[in-house]
Structure 1
């Protein structure tokens, strides 16, 4: 185990050989016939048998609960340590769950000196799947990113919850709630499948009981509750199950760095160091935001001040910064992630703001998850245009400071930026295309390039159609190229119909525009095609063909990659595996161009027939090719 986990377990757990003997010989002294819920809050709300890690930390929240003595009478389950917090209203129980324990319900008794007894029924469940059966995502997948409030409203009855702070719904307000929900995603799984996507990444669906802008989901106020305006936990499970039936995995967006300022624990924090800058918060003193100097994680010369301001500064005044150096907080976050993996049978986690929390904890967090689920996938957000910074966080990378990451995948903001800059440059086609060529050449920095996530845009940046100045051929070039790279591709909902934010580029509310057809009465319906322009229909069809070809392309999934330096305004990329070669050609010329194919003879395609993946037309690879139109050309030897 990693160092931080050891520290946490030393504090929480004190297991002796005699204790193990006692647990092993325990007798059933009661049968739970009535579920009791005397305790205000217990987290995790349930757990499972059969984990490698047999320790469980329970957070107990109840008035003056620290004064109670806790006990359990269930064979194989023992309390190793009852740890009082700084607040008298919390108790942290460290449980040991023996290997032989059977699933079932048992009572936890809390006895006070005045004779009062509180009883809480707790449940250990059987796991739905073996750990090895939970499969992650990889380069064979294509991920569809959805902002759920803006995708489709499948249940209008949950649009407003009078018990939450934000009580209005207004589709005219880009920063208000629009009513999209889990049911809306479920209702359109056929569309997502038919487009060719194999994974869904939804922005967070947990409760954000914030007074405004609660729709985006990144200021969580309860880490174990689905926001009722999105639906129920049962609907979340239904989404996961129905998606799986269609061959689509579910990726959960999680946040280890911060919570929302209205989180239930902010009114009564368990420890004096539960969040960073806690004393300032509690005494209403000024709070420092993060300096956002993410390079301080890698910088050999970084000052302690810069490091501290980076990791302990709040992301914003509305997002308290969690202190993962507190071992109870560390265990809380790790267990929360595992709880959701088991509850939803997830295929992956996207971890928000990955470089902001304590970096040693982040390695422990990812390691604890991967230890339980060896085939799982985690991608961390590192918004950097420097490949060296991106590479630092990937498992297997040799870092000069000795840092060892357990993160499988990072996000390729660097290559995304190169693609946009290259295609927007008009002065010299070759000079522009060299940015892509040299950008891909940076793959030597990565431990595993094909496990990095590439994307044209996402929920935090301008739409790719906007970034490329409304140029359709350039947009097709960008999309087809990144879908051919040795990467895990992610596309944002609406990219397939040229959604844009021209009215106010970069505005987050506008970037997350409603998907047309997701609301009753929409005059345009992108799910059916009704009301779309010819250009939108063409892009939708284009992406559908590329994505569905990609589904079964071994060359794109696992093939050798070779590219040639830009030549006469063109750039050739090849993906090669036995039995299949895929060719991607970018042509920036505005007039017809004849290209000498002898330049590429080492690929071994001379005399072979290739098919145009988009048009279906065949082409024989001879001495030259005439490129008539500016745009991308996708060819395959699979006929």
Structure 2
């Protein structure tokens, strides 16, 4: 009778399954990591009053932290070298004697950390807005559990249905063009009421947006790219989340996001003053610094407080989780100067410590090389700041190229901007590691910026792809996509790629319906991109350029016996240039090949150009 009563008592104690714990993040981890500690965020009603325990060889609890909210618990684990892959129970015992059990999984690492190679100047990156590229799975267009439930391709700010499968379906197209890496804008859940398509208002940092696909799809994309010897770059956001993020209804701590008390008490929220120079300005006021760092990027994007140590750890572990899960080839970090800069140094440092050959590029939207240089690792900053960041984005060179090509030529004034822009490389620790581009998802298409001039667009892109940089090209640039009807309109900048939807009358993937200039631009980029794959002169070579002369600009890239010559000519009428100006390069008498047309050219005393444009020659046969 007593045994039966004891059994009934045991059965009466509730033991909850994995699904009954609301949330544990990271959702899994790995053995054999260089950093042997892990902090778990546990979310469940009244979990803060529970006492966790673990019985698993090689894993022990170092410390348990209660949060302000009783619905959270943070658990510091040590995962020793003796720990083996497997599943173990985390048992939570409440003060009433009730037990909750969560099964946590430790995985075997599939790829050694040193084999996760980041991107470099040997790569060329194709940037995609996934919702607007190709719809590979119509069944996931609408998810009734999310707030934005419609598809409307006639609305530039609505969802259009592009997804991960659409990218997978067209990897061959991207690879054949000559790109070696793909950077999709964020693919994580954006459960926002409107404009959720762009991906930058993340509402769950561990979930793929179901309208883009599943985690399995994301892994398949990464694996499909690796089969083509290509890399996947993940677009991450450490500065902010979406205003409908799940934690906005129940914050762990009182300082989880900046201006949290204003939000909770429904008082006005101040947006950032966007004064990024407060990071470097020795005279910056405390007020300006606070307004920049603590202001929300926009009303729909709450500003995360990385000075909270639990938030800091959460973001670092989240990035490492995605690197390990997808075997990433790099990270692009959005709005890099906006978060706490000391945290960003810790974040980048933690990633590079774990993955020494990895690459991160940070977005610093500035045309001042001094500000760009500040963020690159190894730069000798007067304030002693070390970023641990390999790469930043070259908005300065982008502007120089556009201004130079748009300016009427007056005694070489236009091309001097390109010449002096490249000369500013003395500012950078390693110019070759900086990412350069002509347009992206936040600015007008380069064809629009250059007033729909095909020749100038070719000049800009050809020069871009031969610079001592990491080049990035935005999807559709290869077919002269434009936003000239409303320049700068973000919805229009992110226009659907023709052929990405079954009912499209034009298909840029196959060339069907494209006009001549579009096909020529595709062919032009394909020639240069595929040439640069095997050109050490372009990807690693020494750079020498000459001051603009008679409306022309010559740049030489040299590696051992290979020299690539890039010539920009703004003259609309024929002009002959005396090549003795470039005698020091040592090309006299050599035969060079035009890498676009295939025609051969003798480097003699002079060269005649019949019209404006770009010429790219190589000594390589």
What TM-score, normalized to structure 1? Answer: 0.94
1:95-174 residue pairs with structure 2 within 5 A?
95-174=77-156
Give deviations 1:529-583, integer Å, cap 9, x for gaps. 0000000000000000010001110000110000000000000000001020000
Residues 426-435 or 90-99, more deviating: 426-435
Q: Tell me by how many angstroms 1:245 deviates.
A: 0.3
Q: Tell me by how many angstroms 1:629 deviates.
A: 2.1
Structure 1: distance between partners of 2:599 and 2:211: 48
The yes-or-no answer on 1:274 pairing with 2:256 is: yes
The yes-or-no answer on 1:260 pairing with 2:265 is: no
User: Counterpart of 1:522?
Assistant: 504
User: Counterpart of 2:354?
Assistant: 372
1:449-488 residue pairs with structure 2 within 5 A?
449-488=431-470
Q: Tell me by how many angstroms 1:427 deviates.
A: 4.3
SS in 1 for 2:288: helix
Give deviations 1:136-180, integer Å, cap 9, x for gaps. 000000000000000000000000001100000000000000000
User: Counterpart of 2:9?
Assistant: none
User: Counterpart of 2:13?
Assistant: none
SS in 1 for 2:566: strand
The yes-or-no answer on 1:362 pairing with 2:344 is: yes
User: Counterpart of 2:522?
Assistant: 540
> Which segments of 5 or more consecutive residues in structure 2 lack a partner in the other structure?
1-15
Structure 1: distance between partners of 2:330 and 2:240: 20
Q: Tell me by how many angstroms 1:428 deviates.
A: 1.5
The yes-or-no answer on 1:330 pairing with 2:304 is: no
SS in 2 for 1:224: strand
SS in 1 for 2:459: helix
SS in 1 for 2:103: strand
User: Counterpart of 2:204?
Assistant: 222
Structure 2: distance between partners of 1:311 and 1:357: 6
> Which segments of 5 or more consecutive residues in structure 1 lack a partner in the other structure?
1-33
Structure 2: distance between partners of 1:67 and 1:270: 14
User: Counterpart of 1:3?
Assistant: none
Judge conservation of contact 2:17–2:100 (CA < 8 Å) in 1. Answer: no
Structure 2: distance between partners of 1:578 and 1:240: 35
Structure 2: distance between partners of 1:63 and 1:330: 24
Structure 2: distance between partners of 1:629 and 1:132: 49
Counterpart pick for 1:58 among 40, 49, 58: 40
SS in 1 for 2:205: coil
Structure 1: distance between partners of 2:115 and 2:409: 52
Q: How many residues align?
A: 606
Counterpart pick for 1:441 among 413, 418, 423: 423
Structure 2: distance between partners of 1:188 and 1:579: 36
The yes-or-no answer on 1:423 pairing with 2:405 is: yes
Judge conservation of contact 1:37–1:121 (CA < 8 Å) in 2. Answer: no
User: Counterpart of 1:432?
Assistant: 414
Structure 2: distance between partners of 1:164 and 1:344: 25
What TM-score, normalized to structure 2? Answer: 0.97
Residues 173-182 or 94-103, more deviating: 94-103
SS in 2 for 1:78: strand
Structure 2: distance between partners of 1:398 and 1:494: 38
CA RMSD across the alignment: 0.8
Counterpart pick for 2:288 among 295, 306, 313: 306
User: Counterpart of 2:543?
Assistant: 561
Structure 1: distance between partners of 2:353 and 2:82: 20
Q: Tell me by how many angstroms 1:429 deviates.
A: 5.8
User: Counterpart of 2:596?
Assistant: 614
Judge conservation of contact 2:30–2:108 (CA < 8 Å) in 1. Answer: yes
The yes-or-no answer on 1:396 pairing with 2:357 is: no
Counterpart pick for 1:320 among 274, 287, 302: 302
Judge conservation of contact 1:134–1:345 (CA < 8 Å) in 2. Answer: yes
Structure 1: distance between partners of 2:138 and 2:20: 34
Structure 2: distance between partners of 1:427 and 1:489: 26
User: Counterpart of 2:8?
Assistant: none
Counterpart pick for 1:204 among 145, 165, 186: 186
Counterpart pick for 1:570 among 544, 552, 568: 552
SS in 1 for 2:204: coil
Judge conservation of contact 1:429–1:588 (CA < 8 Å) in 2. Answer: no
The yes-or-no answer on 1:352 pairing with 2:334 is: yes
Counterpart pick for 1:180 among 152, 162, 165: 162
